[in-house]
Amino acid sequence: MSIDVIIDQAEVERRTIRKSDWVACNSAFIDCRTPGSDRKENYAFIGAGVSQNASQVVNLTENHGFNTGAAGMPNGISNNLHLHFTAEVFINLGGTFRLRWGVDGKQGEYVSTDGDIVSIPTWIFRGFTNEGPDEAILYTVLGRDAPGGIIWGPSVLKEAESYGLHLTADNRLIDTVAGDVVPENVPLITPMQQRYIDELSTYSVDELRTRVVQPGDRVYSRNALLCAALPGGGAELSLAIGYGMTQDRRQVPRIHEPHSFNVAWIRAAAGEGLLRHRHDKTQALLVKSGRWEITLNGDPTTTVELGSSDSFSVPEGSWREFRCVEGGDSGFGELLVINGGDDRVYLDWAPEVVEAARRADWMIDPNGYLAPVGVMVTATEDD
What H or E segment, with its residue span, contains residue 371?
strand 370-372
CATH superfamily entry for domain 21-213: Jelly Rolls (2.60.120.10)
The predicted pLDDT at position 27 comes to 81
pLDDT beyond 60 at 383: no
pLDDT per position as a tens digit, 226-262 = 999 999 999 999 999 999 999 999 999 999 999 999 9
323 bridge partner residues: 273, 293
CA 87 to chain CA centroid, nearest Å: 10
Q: Quick one: pLDDT at residue 380? A: 67
pTM above 0.85, yes or no: yes
For 288-308, the pLDDT digits (tens) are 999 999 999 999 999 999 999
- List, in sequence order, every residue forming a beta bridge with 284; answer none if it has no partner: 313, 338
- Which of 77, 72, 41 lies closest to 56 in space, CA to CA? 41
Cα 186 to Cα 34, 88, 159, 190, 357, distances in angstroms: 24, 28, 21, 12, 62
Rounded CA separation 289/121 (Å): 28
Residue extents of the structural domains in the chain: 21-213, 218-376
Its CATH architecture, for the domain 218-376, is Sandwich (2.60)
Is 227 within 8 Å of 254 (Cβ atoms)?
no
Per-residue pLDDT tens over the stretch 49-85: 998 888 899 999 999 999 999 999 999 999 999 999 9
Q: Check: CB of residue 281 under 8 Å from CB of residue 316.
A: yes
- 332's CB contacts (< 8 A; 6+ apart) are 267, 268, 269, 289, 290, 324
Give the model confidence (pLDDT) of 329-375 as tens digits: 999 999 999 999 999 999 999 999 999 999 999 999 999 999 999 99
C-alpha 125: how far from chain center: 20
Contact 283, 314 (CB under 8 A): yes
Burial 286-302 (b: 16+ CB within 10 A, else e): bbbbbbbbbbbbeeeeb
Mean pLDDT of the 159-186 span? 84
Question: Which stretches within 135-278 are classed as H helix?
Answer: 154-161, 194-197, 205-209
Tell me if domain 21-213 and domain 218-376 are identical in fold.
yes
Per-residue pLDDT at 42: 94
